[in-house]
A and B are shown apart, each in its own frame.
Chain A
């Protein structure tokens, strides 16, 4: 087991390093003179020079890269030009919104998708199955930002039950803050739930066809017992990997949804940073988000080994 973890950890570190290298190249080296891009072409020479000095552009690329990565590790991400505040503070404020939003979305989509997927597989080609497949077909086809707009139209415009956007902030009390996150979370969760339900269904269908489920039935277990005790447990293994992959889709979704609902989260921050050409913030956020995707996939790999003893590297056969 230790070997398995170490191998995965090595892969993680390599991937992170390469990712940071690429981000640094794209964001600092390729554009030639980041300062010019940030201030626009007609900026006065002295302000340009001051910015360059502040960003340390005069040092050789490698040195800047090492400083930057050092900063990443110690949390010193440099100062945003437009906001005049360190990037770390910027992120600190906004993570309080994006993270819970993502978590609610994950919980919602998993809680909805896995039971639906299992139900559809158990009742293959019957009403329940056709219904679930129809729902998932739609769920995948509807773009989440359009779905969000429809939700706003329905809940905020007609029924005026939920706020159309904006974020009350956690200090305004738990429930009101949660309320503002409800619609966005549902909009985020729908496509993920649809994909997850389909994957769960086909995975459970596959395991239902396996010999050991027939063995369980031959042992006298009822159809339901064989499904839950044997089929579903094995079916979850591929489903977990898909959930790992879905996190990166969820990330992209968050950026869009935060803009639809005008929520001041990481997504909106990155979007505004582009508009203001604040390369420092964009660079740091991109690497942070990319790193989170890689780390989540690393955790999913570990969960994979926990679920499937064959990967646990238990003692070799007798």
Chain B
């Protein structure tokens, strides 16, 4: 399960970087700037002489943290909303769906723009912006899957047994869509990482001095002609992370729900 392996390595690196990095990420050593990859600095140094490898490791923490919380918001609010819409048809469902259409109108970037204009850039903005955009994804997915389950006989049997709507949702609906949600979470996690990188590239996400892959790429772009390699490594880090997560999602889908395998 390459996906699992890649993701685990990544998380390990991120946790490690909290405690130790080959070089302190903030120390500026101007004479030692823009060195190509070498024995001491495996990935070379950036325009301020900081070790690129350490900064990428530290960047992993930021990337994962932002994405994790954002997907948490998305699922945390989206799933109950979707389940509610499926359980309580009629007006409640209509309101939830209109709220969904509305949030879909604001891609992560647009909402980030609005928030930044108000509160100024920062990691929190990115989290909130990506989080908001994830809510309708989970709400729509949950509602769709739950609706089809509500037609099933074993849910009807639970109603005949006298179970209430909320109890049925907890006992029958959620366990049966759990595998679908987990798979979707890994995919949304990967998308969140991409979105966070985009935001921090534009300077709307995590603010210096703490490092973020997006920002590193942004800085690298101005030095493209001098030190092209600077632009390569952060991008690779993002790609590998997202690739790992997507493979993990596919792997989980096969493991948890064979019926979905056919669609791979």
B residues less than 8 Å from A15 (CB atoms): 98, 101-102, 105
Contact B116 A145 (CB under 8 A): no
Q: Which of A129-147 contact B (CB under 8 A)?
A: 137-138, 140-146
Comparing A61-69, A71-79, A211-219, A288-296, the segment that makes contact with chain B is A288-296
Contact B114 A256 (CB under 8 A): no
Question: Assuming A19-B102, A137-B247, A143-B198, is B109 touching A27 (CB within 8 A)?
Answer: no
A residues less than 8 Å from B264 (CB atoms): 202
The minimal Cβ–Cβ distance linking A157 to chain B, given in whole angstroms, is 6
Number of interface residues of B (CB under 8 A): 43
A residues less than 8 Å from B217 (CB atoms): 145-146, 149
Q: Which of B214-249 contact A (CB under 8 A)?
A: 217, 220-221, 224-225, 228, 231, 234-235, 238-240, 242-243, 246-247
Contact A26 B104 (CB under 8 A): no
Q: Which chain B residue lies CB-closest to A279?
A: B117
Contact B263 A145 (CB under 8 A): no
Contact A149 B202 (CB under 8 A): no
Comparing A85-93, A107-115, A181-189, A243-251, the segment that makes contact with chain B is A243-251
Question: Assuming A149-B220, A157-B225, A274-B116, is B98 touching A293 (CB within 8 A)?
Answer: no
Number of interface residues of A (CB under 8 A): 51
Contact A251 B198 (CB under 8 A): no
Contact A140 B242 (CB under 8 A): yes
Query: Secondary structure at chain B's binding surface: helix, strand, loop or mixed?
Result: helix
Q: Which of A266-311 contact B (CB under 8 A)?
A: 270-271, 274, 277, 279, 282, 286, 289-291, 293-294, 297
Question: Assuming A153-B228, A202-B263, A252-B198, is B105 touching A141 (CB within 8 A)?
Answer: no
A251 to B109, CA, bound (A): 9
Question: Assuming A140-B242, A146-B235, A274-B113, is B118 touching A245 (CB within 8 A)?
Answer: no
Selected from B110, B118, B202, B242, the residue in CB contact (under 8 A) with A290 is B110
The minimal Cβ–Cβ distance linking B36 to chain A, given in whole angstroms, is 15
Contact A27 B202 (CB under 8 A): no
A150 to B104, CA, bound (A): 30
B residues within 8 Å of A by Cβ?
Answer: 98, 101-102, 104-110, 113-118, 190, 194-195, 197-198, 201-202, 204, 217, 220-221, 224-225, 228, 231, 234-235, 238-240, 242-243, 246-247, 262-264
